[in-house]
Amino acid sequence: MGENLKQSTKQDTNQTKKEFKFNKSHRRLLYGSVFLMATSAIGPAFLTQTAVFTAEFYASFAFAILISILIDIGAQINIWRVLVVTGLRGQEVSNKVVPGLGTIISILIAFGGLAFNIGNIAGAGLGLNAMFGLDIKWGAAITAIFSILIFISKSGQKIMDVVSMILGVVMILVVAYVMVVSNPPYGDALVHTFAPEHPIKLILPIITLVGGTVGGYITFAGAHRLLDSGMKGKEFLPFVNRSAIAGILTTGIMRTLLFLAVLGVVVTGVTLSSDNPPASVFEHAIGPIGKNIFGVVIFAAAMSSVIGSAYTSATFLKTLHKSLFNKNNLIVIVFIVISTLIFLFIGKPVSLLIIAGAINGWILPITLGAILIASRKKSIVGDYKHPTWMLVFGIVAVIVTIITGIFSLQDLASLLSLIHI
């Protein structure tokens, strides 16, 4: 794949007839878009998901992580490149392929983003509770206020970039420390990355990982951030390649560190708490203070996801009407306020989260499918030639996410049957 990327970079240079020059402002934007996408994918559910699967599959879970990263790259590179080449957001490209499709997708993504943001707000409250003993609802309210202050500022997007980077680095460093202390069997993990036991049983974890890291709004977080910064056109393709791959690898590094930290604990025979699997990893690895340290991680994960979810959902909503287009920050603030009020006065609506998850499962294959079709339409991408190997990668990602969608519909069916009872 590395050779393919080198060839693509040469083709990009030939297509643009310009050599892209990387400067300081690009560096901040690179880190900002990378960490916005990566931290959007690393929410409270991410922590639980990785802990549960590692406890079940031990070292073989490394194989699932490897495959999910490869599929993620296929989805992200296709979306980032086509969006930047056309200068259009995901919903706008979808509308050009099938009129009205982008509008439907925007509404569904906003609904899903709102539902998951309720969970993110709750997760941040749990984090502050674990760190300082603060009431969860007060913690949620403080998180919402802090998030809103970021977007009230005139430099809101720059601050968002910096905060996303700081929170991402904090998560990586803390989890890396816990991993070192837990002393996992590195050799065993490396072997099982390429030779897992019972690989067929890892299909569901792979599907879940892909859905969790590129589902719904997450795929578009970084690409929409680049568009909002004015990066539009083929001359930015080398930058796009670097950003997309760095974002996926950042998520992959975080998941790998957490996987190894959990593995180091479970191989000793410890059974993780069913109430809070990732928290019990920290407590077993570093003692009573582990609860407080876990609070730091889940707060960082939740806080960054609040920012990513609200911002990206707003980039979809603002194209619904001309009057909304230049009111991105206002939409973000309203989004955060609504999700916080729902949590404070209603709590976490489990039914809503499951329904949103089911919808989320179908957003990526539909949108990615539309973007792959767009990549071959001259009326949309002009004289840009999309690499065939990327198209193949994208098709594989669509197939996998369709399977994800089928499983999400099964969850929805289970919910509806419970409601009926």
Please give the average per-residue pLDDT across 135-147, as a whole number.
93
Domain count, the chain: 1
Q: Provide, rounded to the nearest whole percent, the portion of the chain with pLDDT above 70.
A: 86
Asked if pLDDT for residue 194 goes beyond 50, the answer is yes
Residues for the chain: how many in total?
421
The residue among 253 and 20 whose pLDDT is bigger is: 253
Q: Label each residue of 8-73 as H, E or C.
A: HHHHHHHHHCCCCCCCHHHHHHHHHHHHHHHHHHCCHHHHHHHHHHHHHHHHHHHHHHHHHHHHHH
Give the pLDDT confidence score for residue 69 in this predicted structure. 85
Q: Which helix (H) or strand (E) holds 123?
A: helix 101-132
For residue 233, is it within any domain?
yes
The parent domain of residue 54 ranges over 25-420
From the number of C-beta atoms within 10 Å of its C-beta (0-12, 13-18, 19+), residue 327 rates as middle
Asked if pLDDT for residue 151 goes beyond 60, the answer is yes
For residue 94, is it within any domain?
yes
Asked if pLDDT for residue 304 goes beyond 70, the answer is yes
The residue among 338 and 360 whose pLDDT is bigger is: 338
pLDDT band at 43 (very low <50, low <70, confident <90, very high): confident
Please give the average per-residue pLDDT across 352-365, as a whole number.
71
From the number of C-beta atoms within 10 Å of its C-beta (0-12, 13-18, 19+), residue 291 rates as middle
pTM: 0.84
Give the pLDDT confidence score for residue 229 in this predicted structure. 82
| Distance (Å, whole) CA 144 – CA 241 | 33
CATH for 124: 1.20.1740.10
Q: Are 36 and 244 in contact (CB under 8 A)?
A: no
Q: Which of 80-89, 270-279, 311-320 has the lowest mean pLDDT?
A: 270-279
Half-sphere exposure (Cβ direction) of 393: Cα atoms closer than 13 Å: 21
For residue 46, is it within any domain?
yes
| Distance (Å, whole) CA 300 – CA 308 | 12
Average pLDDT, whole number, for the chain?
A: 84
Residue with tokens 């989004």: 335
For residue 7, is it within any domain?
no
For residue 179, is it within any domain?
yes
For residue 10, is it within any domain?
no
For residue 358, is it within any domain?
yes
Structure tokens at 247: 């974002």
Asked if pLDDT for residue 4 goes beyond 80, the answer is no
Q: What is the pLDDT of residues 219-260, one digit of tens each?
A: 888 888 888 888 888 888 888 888 888 888 888 898 899 999
For residue 79, is it within any domain?
yes
Spell out the long-range contacts of 131-139 with Cβ–Cβ below 8 A and sequence spacing 24 or more: 131/292, 131/295, 131/296, 131/299, 132/295, 137/343, 137/344
| Distance (Å, whole) CA 119 – CA 56 | 24
Asked if pLDDT for residue 316 goes beyond 60, the answer is yes
Give the pLDDT confidence score for residue 421 in this predicted structure. 45
